[in-house]
Amino acid sequence: MQSLFVVSEALRGRKVVYSASMTTALASFIQGKWQAGNGKGRPLENPATEEVLASASTSGFEFSAVLDYAREVGGQSLQKMNLKQRGELLSKLAAVMADNREELLKLAQLNGGNTRGDAKFDVDGASGTLAAYSKYVESEELTIRDGEAVLVGRTSRLIGQHVWLPRKGAAILINAFNFPAWGFAEKAACALLAGMPVVCKPATATALVAHRMFELFVEAGIPEGSLSLICGSVGDLLNHVTSQDVVSFTGSSDTAKTIRTTDSVINAGTTVNVEADSLNAAVLGPDVDLFSETGQLFLKDVVKDMTQKTGQKCTAIRRVLVPASAVEGVCEELASRLSEVKIGDPTAKGISMGPVATKKQKLDVLAGIARLSADTEAVWGGDGSEVTPEGTNGKGYFVSPVLRLAKDPSNLGIVNEHEVFGPVATLIVYDGTASQAAKIVAAPGGGLVSSVYSDDKPYLREAVLGMAPYHGRIYIGSEKMAAQSPGPGTALPSLLHGGPGRAGGGEELGGIRGIRLYQQRVALQGDKSLLKSIID
């Protein structure tokens, strides 16, 4: 863990040495202690400099024992705590993150290619989500009871009552590379409140932030077995799942498919929640003047989603639907704003977009742009490879923001099929009707969040109701909310995150709804006073 301390020391103004020669093998926190895997492990890099920061291996781990420990020791620790105490645990984790915010931001910049703003989005988003969930313990809705008791006999003695109970397994939280902090927090907040021990597996390439968070949590003191961390490959972890475990996965559709078709998952009937990819759309209504509040919000949101986290956000706008009459103006305005994006080492001052997270990610993004090019015209950024990042010695995994244009809405091909997970979006020309917009938006077969920008009520009603069944969230950008809007790309603890079909079919967050994934709903049926004595 030496190099991590080096970062901490740097932030406290002490001696700093941080080089490849000091590469650290990241340990995992399993069975109540820090343990490193065997062998060389997989590298974690600084994507702006290509410097190897650490490595992670899980070789030699006995994952069946890891899960048994979490279920037995962690399950007991959490289930003997009441709801209020579990809420206090979340507050404590949030406070630990807030107290060490600067260090976590720095690590997110080093290992994730994040600008400081990107790093805050992840790290503050995580502590904010933990804090928000800690307050749900005060909600009257978060009771063990699911609805009112119902009469099921001839007299009022015999009743039925649905209740929510924590599952007796482990919550296995597998996260994507783009949100090592928030990805943990949004899942763990719900699992811990429900009373399930967490086994967190961040994506290996960007695990540094999650690793440091766990070090801090462990130092601060956590209920025994309640949190485990796996740094490195997933190994045969999923071969040991039971019917009481929950696998909550965020990542690519391909990995989701592998998880869902793992024999042990099928045989045990393990609950699996999937958050996968999404071709989120932003639709400009025909009533909108680009220089109105609504028009400016639309332009701001598109550019923000293309460049924030270098476009590596599952909620980012990928398809931008524009009525034919507005296309020229939108192309000009977006190109002008994209020309002001400063690309480079995200730790340098004034940089507004860093690199993508890994070399593989860069190759995937460039290949994705090449595929899009077959069906689209260039508006800005060409094929993505023409980029001169600042302060980087020619190293790093940089791509340019790329805006493409599809003129024929009846021939969208790859635009509606392939998610390019980088700073890339495609403008789609449509006829300005709500019905055509809704049809195009729905075409990929399910998404996380799409947005409509308009102040025309009949248009909005038709567009929103047409798109909504294909999504987990719909964002309506309009004049009166423009000043306070976080944009469609921000997932909020109080609103659902997830989506049907190709987005994975999962549901997370949404306030108390997110906690239910980690609980079993049971109907209890019997004598009224006996039921009361069991439940209260």
Which are the catalytic amino acids? 275, 314
Structure tokens at 438: 């809704």
Least distance CB 448 / ligand NAP (angstroms): 5
Contact flag: residue 299 with ligand NAP (CB under 6 A): no
Round to whole Å and give the CA distance between 398 and 344: 8
Round to whole Å and give the CA distance between 492 and 489: 9
Q: Which residue sits closest to ligand NAP, CB atoms considered? A: 251
Using CB under 6 A as the binding rule, the residues of this chain from 28 to 47 that contact ligand NAP are: none
Is the backbone of residue 41 left (phi > 0), alpha (psi -120 to 50) or beta? Answer: left
Cβ neighbors of 321 (< 8 A, separation 6 or more) are 281, 282, 283, 284, 427, 428, 430, 437, 440, 441
* Residue 504 · residue 473 · CB < 8 Å: no
Contact flag: residue 272 with ligand NAP (CB under 6 A): no
Contact flag: residue 77 with ligand NAP (CB under 6 A): no
Contact flag: residue 276 with ligand NAP (CB under 6 A): yes
Q: Which is nearer to ligand NAP, 259 or 517 (CB)?
A: 259
One of 81, 216, 234, 492 touching ligand NAP (CB under 6 A): 234
Contact flag: residue 210 with ligand NAP (CB under 6 A): no
Options 251-259, 283-291, 345-353, 371-379: segment touching ligand NAP (CB under 6 A):
251-259
One of 29, 133, 136, 177 touching ligand NAP (CB under 6 A): 177
One of 4, 297, 314, 356 touching ligand NAP (CB under 6 A): 314
Least distance CB 80 / ligand NAP (angstroms): 31
Could you say which DSSP state residue 140 is in?
T
Indicate the helix (H) or strand (E) that contains 124. helix 116-135
Contact flag: residue 159 with ligand NAP (CB under 6 A): no
Contact flag: residue 251 with ligand NAP (CB under 6 A): yes
Q: Phi and psi at residue 254, in whole multiples of 5°?
A: -65, -45
Contact flag: residue 352 with ligand NAP (CB under 6 A): no
Contact flag: residue 178 with ligand NAP (CB under 6 A): yes
One of 77, 91, 258, 520 touching ligand NAP (CB under 6 A): 258
Q: Compute CA distances 229 → 188, 218, 273, whole Å.
A: 12, 11, 19
Round to whole Å and give the CA distance between 307 and 354: 9
Q: Which is nearer to ligand NAP, 183 or 195 (CB)?
A: 183
* Residue 49 · residue 395 · CB < 8 Å: yes
* Residue 44 · residue 245 · CB < 8 Å: no
Contact flag: residue 275 with ligand NAP (CB under 6 A): yes
Least distance CB 277 / ligand NAP (angstroms): 3
Round to whole Å and give the CA distance between 459 and 172: 43
Q: Which is nearer to ligand NAP, 223 or 251 (CB)?
A: 251
Nearest to 54 by CA among 180, 170, 166: 180
Using CB under 6 A as the binding rule, the residues of this chain from 431 to 470 that contact ligand NAP are: 448
Q: Compute CA distances 104 → 123, 131, 219, 472, 520, whole Å.
A: 7, 17, 15, 30, 35
* Residue 78 · residue 229 · CB < 8 Å: no
Options 209-217, 254-262, 318-326, 347-355: segment touching ligand NAP (CB under 6 A):
254-262
Indicate the helix (H) or strand (E) that contains 521. strand 519-527
Contact flag: residue 419 with ligand NAP (CB under 6 A): yes
Q: Which is nearer to ligand NAP, 249 or 430 (CB)?
A: 249
* Residue 491 · residue 509 · CB < 8 Å: yes
Options 142-150, 232-240, 280-288, 289-297: segment touching ligand NAP (CB under 6 A):
232-240
Q: Point out which residues bind ligand NAP (CB under 6 A).
A: 174-178, 201, 203-205, 233-234, 238, 250-252, 255, 258-259, 275-277, 314, 419, 421, 448
